[in-house]
Structure 1
Amino acid sequence: MRGYSGFGTAVILAPVYSLLWGPRAGVPIMLLMELLVSVQLLPGALKDADRRVVLPLGGAAALATPLGAWILFTADGESLRRFIGGFVLVFGLLLMSGWRYRGSRPLPLNLFVGTLAGLLKGSTGMSGPPVILYLLAGLEEAKRHRANLILFFATIAVVSVVPPLLGGLIDLPVLLRLAVLLPVMAISVPIGARLFHVIPERLYRPFAMAVLLGAGGLALFG
């Protein structure tokens, strides 16, 4: 999903990993994977991204991410896991409904959406939902949408791993799990990127929505 559409890593992995290991272990693993995937995809997306819109979003998100991380450190793990699952379910249903923000993109609104995304990134590992609903509203072609999302995620990827690292959440078990999971992701991302040029979006979207709803339901009710 990430290689194909430019998003999907966090909204699938955050609820699943939180269910398996709890948010304080699952979210750092997902953040590290997000960082490495962003490095993999960014060079090919830079030329197509709209930096005027994306960089204010990413800057505001980067500043708000540490505050969101405070929630990750202090919130009850079970409650946070269920919030992650419910949030992914709502996001998946919104995508299925076809709803998007249809207004203009002035700088104050860019900063507000970026701040909201940063708070979510730090606390749940998921910055994508508000930004995806916001950016996918435009009339740009799919290639521009995908590049914008890749650039946004890359701008906050480094900042997002700093609070868990300083807070001691990135320990040996996290690194061992990362070592097992990362090669699978590294192989899958370029396959998804190649499929972007082959598979029509009308075939991809139902599959992606089913995966989102399934992951959210597992974390919420599991």
Structure 2
Amino acid sequence: MNALVEAASAVLADWRLLGAVLATAIAGVMRGYSGFGTAVILAPVYSLLWGPRAGVPVMLLMELLVSVQLLPGAIKDADKRVVLPLGGAAALATPFGAWILLTADDDLLRRFIGGFVLVFGLLLMSGWRYRGSRPLPLNILVGTLAGLLKGSTGMSGPPVILYLLAGLEEAKRHRANLILFFATIAIVSVIPPALGGLIDLPVLLRLAVLLPVMALSVPVGVRLFRVVPDRLYRPFAMGVLLAAGGLALFG
């Protein structure tokens, strides 16, 4: 009992928790609005605050719970023919990516996460998208790449987002596709860190503090999706991505 109290006191007294709370609130609003944003914001920020091996498991557990929260309202609108092969391939590849998380140098991995988010944000700002068709072999290839990234960095979104946003579907379909994809790999992604001993008491205590912040922020984003035009949301979202990537890369 004393060990639990001491660990909780250490987590709550750490100034870095305040930064994590702010980042979590912003990520929750983005996730509720667009269907993505949790990993690409929180992976670099949490890695900067606590290091990848301590920060990424917190984000993975949160991603799992947020996916459960959003999935019922999105599953009927998603294009399952495209998303399920993507998610299946990603789920199979995730454990292989987790080997990198368990063995890579912490500082090097943090800078890779920051640089990757920075490049992703710049690509989104440029308007570049994949413009081709979505045949099954390509779905599996993109899903495999996403799974390797999920396991190693906690971020499966960037290749899938650029790939899925290529179509002419309405925003509601894009959002549902992303929510379904993230849900299909959320459970698999937490297994390797758990087996590798990365989900320890400090991780669970940080999750206990940050999860209510995320739970309250996601519905705010869902409501904003119904009233805020995309042209007003996008500059804010892109700015957040660039800031998060830059902090992890150069911090």
TM bracket, shorter-chain basis: over 0.9
Consecutive unaligned residues in structure 1, runs of 5 or more: none
1:92 aligned residue (91, 114, 121): 121
- Counterpart-to-counterpart distance in 1, 2:39 and 2:50: 15
Q: How does 1:74-113 map to 2 (within 5 A)?
A: 74-113=103-142
- Counterpart-to-counterpart distance in 1, 2:229 and 2:176: 17
Alpha-carbon distance, 1:204 to partner: 0.2
Alpha-carbon distance, 1:178 to partner: 0.4
1:30-54 deviation per Cα after TM superposition (whole angstroms, max 9, x unaligned): 0000000000000000110000000
Q: How does 1:122-201 map to 2 (within 5 A)?
A: 122-201=151-230
- Counterpart-to-counterpart distance in 1, 2:209 and 2:43: 17
Alpha-carbon distance, 1:190 to partner: 0.8
1:184-213 deviation per Cα after TM superposition (whole angstroms, max 9, x unaligned): 000000110111000000000000000000
Alpha-carbon distance, 1:98 to partner: 0.1
Aligned equivalent of 1:209: 238
- Counterpart-to-counterpart distance in 1, 2:219 and 2:150: 24
Alpha-carbon distance, 1:108 to partner: 0.3
Alpha-carbon distance, 1:181 to partner: 0.4
- Counterpart-to-counterpart distance in 2, 1:141 and 1:209: 20
SS in 2 for 1:197: helix
Q: So what's the TM-score if we normalise by structure 1?
A: 1.00
- Counterpart-to-counterpart distance in 1, 2:81 and 2:166: 16
Alpha-carbon distance, 1:66 to partner: 0.1
SS in 1 for 2:227: coil
1:128-158 deviation per Cα after TM superposition (whole angstroms, max 9, x unaligned): 0000000000000000000000000000000
1:113-137 deviation per Cα after TM superposition (whole angstroms, max 9, x unaligned): 0000000000000000000000000
How many residues are treated as equivalent by the alignment?
A: 222
1:93-120 deviation per Cα after TM superposition (whole angstroms, max 9, x unaligned): 0000000000000000000000000000
- Counterpart-to-counterpart distance in 1, 2:76 and 2:90: 22
SS in 1 for 2:134: coil
- Counterpart-to-counterpart distance in 2, 1:188 and 1:97: 28
- Counterpart-to-counterpart distance in 2, 1:92 and 1:186: 25
SS in 2 for 1:101: coil
Alpha-carbon distance, 1:11 to partner: 0.2
1:47-103 deviation per Cα after TM superposition (whole angstroms, max 9, x unaligned): 100000000000000000000000000110000000000000000000000000000
1:139-183 deviation per Cα after TM superposition (whole angstroms, max 9, x unaligned): 000000000000000000000000001111000000000000000
State, as a whole percentage, how many aligned pairs show the same letter.
91
SS in 1 for 2:83: helix
SS in 2 for 1:138: coil
- Counterpart-to-counterpart distance in 1, 2:224 and 2:66: 17
SS in 1 for 2:226: coil
Aligned equivalent of 1:8: 37
SS in 1 for 2:199: coil
| 4+ residue runs over 4 A deviation | none
2:67 aligned residue (25, 38, 44): 38
Consecutive unaligned residues in structure 2, runs of 5 or more: 1-29
CA RMSD of aligned residues (A): 0.3
